[in-house]
Amino acid sequence: MALIVQKYGGTSVGSIDRIKAVAAKVKSWSERGHQLVVVVSAMSGETDRLIALAKSIQPRPSPRELDVLLATGEQVTIALFSMALEDAGCQARSYTGSQVHILTDSAHNKARIRDIDAARVRADLEVGRVVVIAGFQGVDEQGNITTLGRGGSDTSAVAMAAALKADECQIYTDVDGVYTTDPRVEPRARRLDRITFEEMLEMASLGSKVLQIRSVEFAGKYKVPLRVLSSFEEGEGTLISLEEEIVEQAKISGIAFNRDEAKLTILGVPDQPGVAHKILGPISDANIEVDMIIQNIAADEKTTDFTFTVNRNDYPRAMEMLRSTAETLSAKQVLGDNRIVKISLVGVGMRSHAGIASTMFGALAKEGINIRMISTSEIKISVVVDEKYLELGVRALHEAFGLAGETAA
């Protein structure tokens, strides 16, 4: 018998029929003797409907009141889901975030979980109830309703699993696991049986939007085994766990990519302490997130060249700021390109294998793909290439690292 936390997203509970189908699934887990805690999102479309209502009243809705409004979405689902379980003959009880004291900070619309009082949930589990919990929401120390931001239900599930010391946290979604790369780009992409938290973090932050990144961090921190699997099909999904538990270690686990990149370069900046801050300060003050940052000494050795990437949506604003900074700093020139993409190899195995980078660069060169930027971390190598090479580059790397083929054991 195991204690399992399951999370079902908005699509999985998007209609009365789906709620009933998922309830039947949960019931069958319960009948196999497991203790079940189910975390649910708002029915698909509901959060958007509520946001539209708010905006029809206030163009920038009060963050506190927006949370009061949005929290109703999950509250509707927990009630309906519990009814569906009870109708199927399975004892159930629902709780809002506030009722199980999912304590968060007071950052409305993007709160972070601080603590969970799991005693009430445990008491219900002991008497054989399935516990249904509203994801995405919590309560601050003053009793105000908070929400965790989009995708926050994943984090709610992981936090609940950590608080209950659950055996596994299962995230049900519309894909059946984590793949070596996006199957829409490389049809031979393979589902991974296992992946480490670190790899998953790199995959998630690089655009494999299977899980909310914060939930993976949380799971890693509290060592909660996390499984991604399909709401609609049977299957084992992908287990995300600690490195030591993964016996046979592949060098590379997967290839992530990000289409939304744009790069900006400022050339011939005087090479003085504080210059990086002068360049990036205004950008970050404007809440523009910077991804890669590269600095090179220029040919004359007295000035430096500085390149960074931002989200494509922020490109025009960032470009404008950089031009103004260039004037202040008497820089030579400002360049920009918003038709680039980033492709990254991810794998804990690369720590101990020096040849990975050269294999990567060789595979891209063979296809005539020019590398515009390179950035590396312990378990990741990223390259920036022209947009048009995305598919070709991903497939070449997938082939070069032997990722295709049957699902590995």
Q: Please report, as ranges, the residues that interact with a copy of itself according to CB under 8 A.
A: 16, 19-20, 50, 53-54, 56-58, 61-62, 64-66, 68-69, 71-72, 75-76, 78-80, 82-84, 86-87, 92-94, 96, 98-99, 120, 143-145
Angle at 153 between CA 151 and CA 155, to 5 degrees: 90
Strand partners, 173: 230
Smaller CB separation from a copy of itself, 74 or 202: 74
Smaller CB separation from a copy of itself, 92 or 403: 92
Buried-exposed string 261-282: b where 16+ CB fall within 10 A, e elsewhere = bbbbbbbbbebeeebeeebbeb
160 in Cβ contact with 37 (< 8 Å): yes
Smaller CB separation from a copy of itself, 144 or 295: 144
Smaller CB separation from a copy of itself, 104 or 344: 104
Calpha distance 179→181 (Å, rounded): 5
Say which DSSP state 371 is in.
P
Min dist. Cβ of residue 145 to a copy of itself (A): 8
Closest-CA residue to 194 (of 166, 155, 226, 216): 226
Smaller CB separation from a copy of itself, 128 or 355: 128
Min dist. Cβ of residue 142 to a copy of itself (A): 9
Min dist. Cβ of residue 91 to a copy of itself (A): 10
Smaller CB separation from a copy of itself, 64 or 209: 64
Strands of the sheet containing 226-230, edge to edge, are: 92-95, 130-134, 35-40, 3-8, 168-173, 226-230, 238-241, 194-196
Smaller CB separation from a copy of itself, 78 or 394: 78
- Tokens describing residue 66: 């927006």
Min dist. Cβ of residue 68 to a copy of itself (A): 4
Smaller CB separation from a copy of itself, 140 or 314: 140
Min dist. Cβ of residue 80 to a copy of itself (A): 6
Calpha distance 151→376 (Å, rounded): 28
What distance lies between CA 347 and its chain's CA centroid? 17
155 in Cβ contact with 116 (< 8 Å): no
202 in Cβ contact with 145 (< 8 Å): no
| 213, containing H or E segment | helix 213-221
Strand partners, 342: 258, 384
